[in-house]
Amino acid sequence: MHDMLEQQISISDGTLERLRVSQADIRDEYLAEHTDPWIIGYSGGKDSTLVAQLVFEMLLDLAPSDRKRPVHVLCNDTLVESPVLMTYIDRMLSRLQIAAESLHLPITVVKTTPDPDQTFWVNLIGRGYPAPTRMFRWCTDRMKIAPTSNYIRTQISENGEVVLLLGVRRAESANRARTTSNHRNVAGSRLNPHDDMKGCMVFRPILEMSTDDVWLLLLQRTPPWGGSHRELVTLYRNAQGGECPLVIDKSTAPSCGTSSSRFGCWTCTVVEKDRSMEAMIDSGHEHLEPLMEFRDWLAKFRNERSKRMVERRDGRIALMGDGVTTVAGPFTVEARQEILARLLGVQTEVDMPLISEDEIARARAIWADDAVSEARRHLKQREQLRSKEKA
């Protein structure tokens, strides 16, 4: 136990006891007989930061010969994250990796990204997917779940089994409390099987901690990778909320794009208003205002029926419950071109990369393929019409 911790009289006995339990659980699980790799789901937020710190401290307290189990710090970048958040996370990932190497800890820092063909802009501008809504949240699976779960499955394939450490807390929200209460640990174990990934065991070392516990421990304890957590505190204060968590499966997907003030993707149109971005701008990040204006424009643009096709991408036409009104399909090619032009204008205005040249090239290739498919569809329709006339 760190001497500094014992001197912090502002930390309650309850918080100290929950910390001791978490520390003991982490140490015992790490020293268990099996050597399954650990994967820490790191989002850059307070909870995952505390889990990472507790694991770092545990490894430092062990003799080098006992540090046999590899630890992966896994973070996901959707490529449309809040610029302020992503700048902070990249800086943190660099610190974690440098500290792990200098302290000779078996820690590997990994940042996943969506498949190049499944990024936000390739799907929205290329394929014409409408900006996400609560009913059609196509982004979460492609940009968050797939990249992280693919990495975890790769580790399972190589090692047989892995342990996923998540900074999930029962007190975080009513929804999380219900979710965590549904999980039952294997008898005599702190681990429970992942719902969707065979070979992945889930470990929640700070499950019983309160929000106050987390902040007190972060503020009172110096991170082993150096510096302090002041920047993290400032990030939360400026965003007036929390982070969208690392999403591993669909059971946690609803946390992405909630109505609460959370910082996540700056393009998120699932929420009516991006209160986090508004708070960031009000706190001094005025240069982000064009991003918020673009997001608001995109949400309205999505609802203009003239900008949407009647057919879906597979050529089918869907009807609403009345059996007459058609469900709006993808953006028309002209609408996609309009979105790209506006996005490039914003990119120039804010002087930061928002879309890559590869994404633009992929989008334009899809437009070309769509034009060919449309021509073939019209040709087939004309041939069918001629056949009917001859008959």
Q: Where are the beta strands (DSSP E) in the chain?
A: 38-41, 71-76, 107-112, 162-165, 192-193, 200-203, 242-243, 262-263
Question: What are the DSSP calls for 58-92, one per residue?
Answer: HHHHS-GGG--S-EEEEEE--SSB-HHHHHHHHHH
Q: What percent of the chain has pLDDT over 70?
A: 86
Task: List the single range of 34-43, 111-120, 163-172, 374-383 with lowest mean pLDDT.
Answer: 374-383
The pLDDT mean for the chain works out to 88
Instruction: Tell me the two tokens of residue 309.
Output: 């096709």
Q: Are strands 192-193 and 200-203 parallel, antiparallel or unpaired?
A: antiparallel
Mean pLDDT throughout 147-174? 92
Which pLDDT does position 4 carry in this prediction? 38
Instruction: Tell me the two tokens of residue 364.
Output: 């334009």
Which pLDDT does position 187 carry in this prediction? 46
List, in sequence order, the alpha helices (H) in 260-332.
Answer: 275-282, 289-302
Give the residue from 80, 83, 93 showing the smallest Cα distance to 44.
93
Give the residue from 215, 159, 281, 179 showing the smallest Cα distance to 45.
215
Which pLDDT does position 18 carry in this prediction? 96
Mean pLDDT throughout 27-53? 96
Give the residue from 25, 34, 42 showing the smallest Cα distance to 68.
34
Q: What is the pLDDT of residues 119-156, one digit of tens each?
A: 999 999 999 999 999 989 999 999 999 999 999 999 99
Calpha distance 42→68 (Å, rounded)? 21
Which architecture characterizes domain 3-116+141-230 according to CATH?
Answer: 3-Layer(aba) Sandwich (3.40)
Which pLDDT does position 292 carry in this prediction? 96
Q: Where are the domains of the chain?
A: 3-116+141-230
Burial status of residue 171 (CB atoms within 10 A of its CB: 0-12, 13-18, 19 or more): middle
Q: What is the pLDDT of residues 192-215, one digit of tens each?
A: 999 989 999 999 999 999 999 999
Instruction: Tell me the two tokens of residue 213.
Output: 């516990």
Residue 290's pLDDT band, with cuts at 50, 70 and 90, is: very high
Which pLDDT does position 7 carry in this prediction? 41
Calpha distance 290→268 (Å, rounded)? 14
* pLDDT at 339 exceeding the cut of 80: yes
Which pLDDT does position 100 carry in this prediction? 98
Mean pLDDT throughout 300-329? 82
Task: List the single range of 49-58, 170-179, 265-274, 280-289 with lowest mean pLDDT.
Answer: 170-179
Which pLDDT does position 52 carry in this prediction? 98
> Considering the entire predicted model, what is its pTM?
0.86
Mean pLDDT throughout 251-257? 53
Which pLDDT does position 263 carry in this prediction? 67
Which pLDDT does position 366 carry in this prediction? 97
* pLDDT at 350 exceeding the cut of 90: yes
Which pLDDT does position 6 carry in this prediction? 38
Task: List the single range of 248-252, 264-268, 343-347 with lowest mean pLDDT.
Answer: 248-252
Which pLDDT does position 391 carry in this prediction? 64
Which pLDDT does position 244 carry in this prediction? 65
**AA identity, residue 53:** Q
Q: What is the pLDDT of residues 272-283, one digit of tens each?
A: 888 889 999 999
* pLDDT at 87 exceeding the cut of 90: yes
Q: Which residue has the tokens 């990204």?
A: 113
* pLDDT at 261 exceeding the cut of 50: no
Residue 247's pLDDT band, with cuts at 50, 70 and 90, is: low
Indicate the SS3 state at residue 313: coil
Which pLDDT does position 248 carry in this prediction? 64
Beta bridge partners of 200: 162
Question: What are the DSSP calls for 210-265, one per residue?
Answer: -HHHHHHHHHHS--TTSS-SHHHHHHHHHHTSEEPPPP-STTSGGGTT-SS-EE-B
Residue 83's pLDDT band, with cuts at 50, 70 and 90, is: very high
Give the residue from 218, 188, 191 showing the smallest Cα distance to 202.
191
DSSP secondary structure code for residue 142 in this structure: I
Which pLDDT does position 376 carry in this prediction? 77
CB 254 within 8 A of CB 264: no
Q: What percent of the chain has pLDDT over 90?
A: 70
Say how far residue 346 (Cα) sits from the centre of its chain.
24
Which pLDDT does position 310 carry in this prediction? 84
Give the residue from 93, 41, 37, 96 showing the smallest Cα distance to 67.
37
∠ CA 281-283-286, rounded to 5° = 35
Count of helices and strands (H, E) across the chain = 14, 8
